[in-house]
Chains A and B, each alone.
Chain A
Amino acid sequence: MSRDPVSSDLEELEARTLYILREAFAEIRPLAMLWSIGKDSTALLWMVRKAFFGRVPFPMVQLDTGMELPEVYEFRDAMARDWNLDLQVVDCPPEEVMDPTLPPGGRAAARKTEGLKALLRTHGYKGIFLGIRRDEQSMRAKERVFSPRGEDGAWNFKDQPAEFWDQYKTEVPEGAHLRIHPLLHWTELDIWRYTRQEGIPIVPLYLARDGMRYRSLGEKNITVPIPSTAATIDEIIAELETSRTPERAGRTMDHESEDAFERLRRSGYM
């Protein structure tokens, strides 16, 4: 079958992401990308390699709480080696120093926020790429592609910059930075279809074993696997096409209180 280069919706989604990556690279220095080793940020990393013709011209940062599953660390080290990544592992501060009024899941998330702030302080990054999607969570649905964050990482969601016709806010004051979201327009299903099409490596935990799999991969203390028999990507796609279970159902922090996620994001969470 001859493939029309623009007929596929996946290629359109990808083209948009490549465009955003290149805009950021042209306008903002220094840059880094947060790589959680999950399916989304790994697909994004795949597209970074496409955008820059096999190079990854900025560091990949893992905000490490030490609580990832062993398979995640194995995958990280293998990919860093195979793709010649400049990998920066940031150890997040311990849970004891987090805001005690936050629910437990929120405290775990806050550790990553603090790790990110430390990273920004140390390296002075002006732009941070993140693989978040609008369909993940209703707060993320309100994000801009280029989202300014204040000096303390805070998100002023009541006054977000205008953003249209692929024109983005690319300047921020000293001390502030931009969160850049090249995957906002993708859905969970899109990511899996793209992963299948491109043959992108994934952490095997996404595939079902003994009737369970991880749909969303977080730290082992705050994420639980879901019942599933989807042992291949094809089966994951078939499962998602009929599922009405939210993607982050296995994430505790999203469900602890009505505004838990908003509080996290406002204060700088990813």
Chain B
Amino acid sequence: MPTSTSAHRQIRIVITGHVDHGKSTLIGRLLHDTGSLPDGKLAELEAVSARRGVPLEWSFVLDSFQAERDQAVTIDTTQIWFRTATRDVVIIDAPGHREFLKNMVSGAAAADAAVLVVDAAEGLRDQTRRHAYLLHLLGLRQVAVVINKMDAVDHSAARFGALSREVERYLAGIGLTAAAILPISARHGDGIAAYSDALGWFGGPTLLEVLDRFDAARPAVDRPLRFPVQDVYRTDGRRIVVGRVESGILRVGDRLLFSPSGRNARVTGIEVYGTAVPPMEARAGQAVGFTLDEPVYVERGDLASHEDYPPQLTDVFRIRLFWFAARPLAVGDRYTLRLATRRVGVTVQTVEKIVDTDTLATRTGTVVARNAVAEVILRTDTLVALDGHADNPATGRAVLVDGGDIVGGGIVGMEGYPDQRRLMAAPRTANLHRVDHLLTPEVRARRLGHRGAVVWLTGLSGAGKSTLSMRLEQRLFALGYHTYVLDGDNVRRGLNADLGFSPADRAENIRRVGAVAALFADAGMVAVTAFISPYRADRARARAAAEAAGCPFVEIYVKASLDTCERRDPKGLYAKARAGALPDFTGISSPYEPPESPDLVLDTEVEDADACVARAVAFLTTRLGLSVPDSTPDGV
């Protein structure tokens, strides 16, 4: 990025903190001390203050609503411009009251940096901590802390030191380091542009000096291209795809991939109205339009990228959420998710943890109350294209909408969830032709005495899948069935020896097993599989593979609680996972999504293995209509 013009770029700084700790006063003082108040404003403030019988009230610069002035409370966020010696600053005032949290977030989300105001006498309060937590959650990493009203504590260096350490401890707890912690007195202007003798012991920078050191956010030119489609316009016989480049660079001639549809086409021109020479590229931050070489169907909500660096596709992900609707968020609730220009229906699948922003303690629960922060698993109605927030903030954050109102928002985490893009990939070559077998399923069934099927066992490690599958295989074989077990450990020795245990590799593991099981079933066998297969989407894909081959698919949930499985720990894996030696272990550091409507549940905590196998055999012979051959069971 060129730096020659950076001095022109304004920086946006949000002022946050607990109510009455002096945010609005600080802003009024900043304006005054930088000579930014318009002529007559000071006289107006003096007049208004006199009329209300109060000393000169700097906060009246910003608290422009009557209700705000009457109650000396900031209700809504506001923005005001001023200049330091080196640049233009937009100050965003954020209300401190708990009930105006949505207004605080509305202001803070637009900021490049933040000042957290702490009252020297009162010290840290609940909204001080909550605001600090939210700043971090919103992605702000530049935070200065001012210990305000130092005049009220006799300019005590000891008091300042104690509060500084308390602030540092809290910020360290959320992974944040303050750019500076300063003693000031906003009402008297001490520490804003200069220090008086009273705070002369500090010897550190003034607030204005700290603000001058903050960096304005830059458009993310260095990240992979992300272009959320806003609309498609028909103009003069052309179809122009419009939107804003959120990250990366879009060039004429680029081949673009549109997600989630997977369609692709080449950029033939970038459209900017009123330019004599059309540009050859558009960079992050620019709002443009472009035309394509093929009339592929593109619509609002699609996310364009380059083919080499696509966003992830998923229908399930984790969101670190702040919630400000009066009605709590609960497991099973339905909302509309908005992610860039995309809208999709979403269900709350799990509330993983709720964060107490005061103590940073977390607890479990199924309900997230107003103004709380939580980690929540969301399941979308259809696949969406997104990025983890750390990879790309613009496409890694989303808001939830209820009845037309934005009621919460948060940042996306994909840890523990696979990218489903490669799993649903079409064959990599177009030169494939399906070859039909001359033998039909009916012919095979007549020879073998029964039809092929896939019996899919899913459950946590230690739930009993391997044990039950082997005994099921033995029983079915004894009854005359042609059957074979595909077991997780065995398959990974050969077919899937190249795969690890990352979410993507685990999903690929299941994709291959699903395909192999479908081939077995097509060959007339009863293929029994024993895999944790933690993701619902992967199991759905395995079902689709079997059904595409014309074979029944039976999902059996081998059920046992995490506690029980961990106690059994037949392979010692839970112990390793708890010790941190297994980074993606289902149930510990990676999610398990139980089947929503399994064909059969075998609860291994309630029934012993014999009973489970007997029920499975009874179910399979009935449900699948397998005709038992006339041979006599040989004593199993």
Contact = CB atoms under 8 A, between A and B. Distances in A.
A53 B39 contact: no
B543 interface: no
Contacts of B109: 164-165
A72 B547 CA distance: 72
Contact of A15 (B5, B48, B76, B287): B287
B112 to A, nearest CB: 13
The contact size tier of chain B is 35 or more
Nearest to A26: B231
A101 interface: no
Interface string B36-62: 011111000000100100000000011
Interface in A53-74: 53-55
The contact size tier of chain A is 35 or more
B550 to A, nearest CB: 44
A6 B221 contact: yes
Interface in A1-60: 4-9, 11-12, 14-16, 18-19, 22-23, 25-26, 49-55
Given A50-B274, A53-B233, A165-B399, A141 B406 contact: no
A160 B76 contact: yes
A7 B4 contact: yes
B286 A15 contact: yes
A162 interface: yes
A246 interface: yes
Contacts of B79: 134, 141, 185
A164 B282 contact: no
A169 B285 contact: no
Contact of A53 (B38, B273, B284, B404): B273
Contacts of A209: none
B136 interface: no
B300 to A, nearest CB: 6
B405 A262 contact: no
Interface stretch (B99-107, B199-207, B567-575): B99-107
Contacts of B10: 9
Contacts of B586: none
B283 interface: yes
B230 A22 contact: yes
B271 interface: yes
A262 B274 contact: no
22 contacts: A5-B283, A12-B285, A14-B287, A19-B244, A53-B233, A55-B235, A138-B61, A138-B62, A138-B80, A139-B64, A141-B64, A141-B80, A158-B75, A161-B406, A163-B106, A163-B406, A165-B109, A170-B404, A245-B38, A245-B40, A258-B51, A262-B65
Interface of B: 1-2, 4-5, 8-10, 35, 37-41, 48, 51, 61-62, 64-67, 75-81, 102-103, 105-106, 109-110, 219, 221, 230-231, 233, 235, 240, 242-244, 271-274, 279, 281-287, 289, 300, 324, 338, 341, 397, 399, 404-407, 409
Given A53-B235, A262-B66, 16 more contacts: A5-B279, A6-B221, A19-B244, A22-B231, A23-B341, A51-B273, A51-B287, A134-B78, A135-B81, A141-B79, A141-B80, A162-B103, A164-B110, A167-B409, A245-B39, A259-B66
The 5 closest A-B pairs by CB, nearest first: A171-B404, A164-B109, A138-B64, A18-B287, A15-B287
